A and B are shown apart, each in its own frame.
Chain A
Amino acid sequence: MAEPRMTASVLKVLAALLAEMGAQRYGLQLMQATGLPSGTLYPILARLEKAGWVESRWEEIDPVAEGRPSRRYYVLTADGATAARREVEAMQQQMSRVTGMPGRAQEA
């Protein structure tokens, strides 16, 4: 599978998903965490899922009983987490070269 093209927006999404490993996030949460509009976020999630970096699942509830629609949750895969860490670190190193500040080993 081809790797997704890294842009600032993609890195924001990866960083948000990395922030709490294993946590499942829905679209609105990721929009709030990244500050990205819906029209930017969802194509990125779709590309990451296509690349195998992210997987999604639907919330298993009865919408009628709960009185609310079920949401779709996203989580980084093991491969995705490795790749995301690598990309975020690479970006941090690049930034540290530009700013002269030492880059952290790993983004929280």
Chain B
Amino acid sequence: MVERLARFAVRMAARRWPAELAGTMREEWLAELAYVRGARAKLAFAGSLLVSPALDGPSWADRFAGLGRAAGVTLAAAVVANLARGSGVFAPLLLVLAAIVLAAIGRRVRVSVPLVGAAMFVFLFAGNPVPVMPFMGAADIAPAIVTWVLVMTLLQRSLRRNQNRDEDHGRIRGRGAEPGGARGRVADRERNRGYVRTAILGGSAAVMLATIAGSARAAAALGIPAWTAPAWFPLALLPGGTVTFGPYFADGSAAFGSLQAVGPAFHASDILLANAAVMAGPLLLCTAFLLHRGGRPGQPAAIEHGVHRHQPGTDASARKSRPGSAAVPALSLRPLPRLATDALARRASRLSPRLTGLARHAANTVALAGRDLRLPAGLAAALVALAAGPKLPASFDSGDAALRAMVDNSAAFGFGFVEHPVGLGAVALLAAVLVMRAVGARAASR
């Protein structure tokens, strides 16, 4: 059993390496593993390979940066979802608009699905204490997040495969020979349309399945029939009471596990849908954010680690040669941007060589000013987070308040963790780091 687990870990580790080395490394590690004595030593050998950065892969610093971006995206999605849901009847429209805006931002930021899933789990778990949100425990959140991560990962792979296939077909037919030509534009439009269609359908399926997985326990406890499951996600986005089903609680008393509350009369569906909405809103926005990034043909590159860069082994052709690779997807990365200093200097040198030095000096000053802005920008972001954090909807202070909010489906994504100084400090630090990196990236790409 241990041997099999270790061999599996070694194979997984080798898949993260560049395609030209992956096979050799796998054979070498499997051979060495056969010589390692003892179960613990075998697991240590394989585990170290599995968790350590691969050659040309993201380093530990990159991974922490990725975690920060995932946490930032999740927090932003939760805040925006709360704002949209607070608008009553306009909530569905605002959520769709927010999804479009986040999708546009998502084009420029690389975030991994599993990391967003992990951040979402932590925030939901820490922000919504179980006693007041009766179906927001690990037993509800974990199935939802695991389902979402699985479906999203499969969807991203499918989109990548389609893109690679389209590129191959384009090359074979010569359609891609003239990217700026009319035939090339038509082909790009067709591919874009196909991508958008698959992304919207697949993304909706991901959130719908996650909502069902995360609400199954609640449905069983509330006596709601399973055949209503496909409607839970869309109905969760609507104002409370739009559609009701399940048992009716005429006396308004609720006793679900540790929740003992009294409020207005309600249907079981009110509790289920409100609970589902707290997860589904942010998940929907995160889905839009993740599906738009870099995967569409002809789309601009992702910004990674604050600067544009092309990573070896992550372009479409390399990825294609590693079928089923579990690495973070990276598609259609555009060429390295020219730094402002070089571009200006080149232009100036055409006019007069004397201007070259002056232009380079001016551009350097601009770039340095951008970099110098990082600290004040980070400080400002931290102060804003510290001021705004306590105003975010925290957990309900009583079961009655939670019940009322659930009945009219206004229960918000809880930011219970900002009630604690450590949680608030962590949010402020996250805001500062993300803003500093964004300002630094802007200065570098100017």
* Chain A positions near chain B (C-beta within 8 angstroms): 26-28, 37-40, 42-43, 46-47, 68-72
Determine the residue in chain A with the shortest Cβ distance to B46.
A38
Q: Which residues of A contact B30 (CB under 8 A)?
A: 69
CA distance A43 to B56 in the complex (A): 9
Among candidates B28, B44, B51, B52, residue contacting A43 with C-beta atoms closer than 8 Å: B52
Beta-carbon contact of B32 and A71 below 8 Å: yes
Q: Which residues of A contact B405 (CB under 8 A)?
A: none
Q: Min CB distance, B2 to chain A, in Å?
A: 16
CA distance A82 to B35 in the complex (A): 32
Q: B213-237, CB under 8 A of A: which get 1 and which 0?
A: 0000000000000000000000000
Determine the residue in chain B with the shortest Cβ distance to A27.
B32
Among candidates A40, A46, A72, residue contacting B52 with C-beta atoms closer than 8 Å: A40
- Most A Cβ at <10 Å: residue of B24, B31, B53: B31
State whether the Cβ of B1 lies closer than 8 Å to any Cβ in chain A.
no
Beta-carbon contact of A72 and B31 below 8 Å: yes
Q: Chain A contact residues: over half helix, strand or loop, or mixed?
A: helix
CA distance A71 to B31 in the complex (A): 6
Q: Which residues of A contact B256 (CB under 8 A)?
A: none
Beta-carbon contact of B44 and A70 below 8 Å: no
Determine the residue in chain A with the shortest Cβ distance to B10.
A38
State whether the Cβ of B34 lies closer than 8 Å to any Cβ in chain A.
yes
Closest 5 CB pairs of A and B: A39-B52, A39-B48, A69-B31, A37-B48, A72-B28
State whether A42 and B44 are in contact (beta carbons under 8 Å apart), knowing that A28-B35, A47-B55, A72-B31 are contacts in the complex: no
State whether A39 and B49 are in contact (beta carbons under 8 Å apart), knowing that A46-B21, A47-B55, A72-B28 are contacts in the complex: yes
Q: Min CB distance, B196 to chain A, in Å?
A: 39
Beta-carbon contact of B21 and A38 below 8 Å: no
Q: Which residues of B contact A72 (CB under 8 A)?
A: 24, 27-28, 31
- Most B Cβ at <10 Å: residue of A26, A39, A70, A72: A39
Q: B49-88, CB under 8 A of A: which get 1 and which 0?
A: 1111111000000000000000000000000000000000
Beta-carbon contact of A70 and B31 below 8 Å: yes
Q: Which residues of B contact A43 (CB under 8 A)?
A: 52-55
State whether the Cβ of B146 lies closer than 8 Å to any Cβ in chain A.
no
CA distance A64 to B342 in the complex (A): 60
* Chain B positions near chain A (C-beta within 8 angstroms): 13, 21, 24-25, 27-32, 34-36, 44-46, 48-55
Beta-carbon contact of A37 and B44 below 8 Å: yes
CA distance A43 to B44 in the complex (A): 16
Q: Which residues of B contact A38 (CB under 8 A)?
A: 29, 32, 44-46, 48-49, 52
Q: Which residues of B contact A68 (CB under 8 A)?
A: 34-35
Determine the residue in chain A with the shortest Cβ distance to B31.
A69
Q: Which residues of B contact A46 (CB under 8 A)?
A: 21, 25, 55
CA distance A47 to B54 in the complex (A): 11
Determine the residue in chain A with the shortest Cβ distance to B30.
A69
CA distance A47 to B48 in the complex (A): 18
Determine the residue in chain A with the shortest Cβ distance to B24.
A72
CA distance A11 to B46 in the complex (A): 24
State whether A42 and B31 are in contact (beta carbons under 8 Å apart), knowing that A28-B36, A37-B44, A47-B55 are contacts in the complex: no
CA distance A103 to B24 in the complex (A): 39
Q: Which residues of B contact A42 (CB under 8 A)?
A: 25, 28-29, 49
Among candidates B28, B50, B53, residue contacting A27 with C-beta atoms closer than 8 Å: B28
Q: Min CB distance, A46 to chain B, in Å?
A: 5
CA distance A70 to B55 in the complex (A): 23
Determine the residue in chain B with the shortest Cβ distance to A40.
B52
State whether A28 and B52 are in contact (beta carbons under 8 Å apart), knowing that A38-B45, A42-B25, A46-B21 are contacts in the complex: no
Q: Which residues of A contact B28 (CB under 8 A)?
A: 27, 42, 71-72
CA distance A28 to B48 in the complex (A): 13
CA distance A79 to B13 in the complex (A): 30
Given A26-B32, A38-B48, A43-B55, 18 more contacts at CB 8 Å? Answer: A28-B32, A28-B36, A37-B52, A38-B46, A39-B49, A39-B52, A39-B53, A40-B52, A42-B25, A42-B29, A43-B53, A43-B54, A46-B21, A46-B55, A47-B55, A68-B34, A68-B35, A69-B31
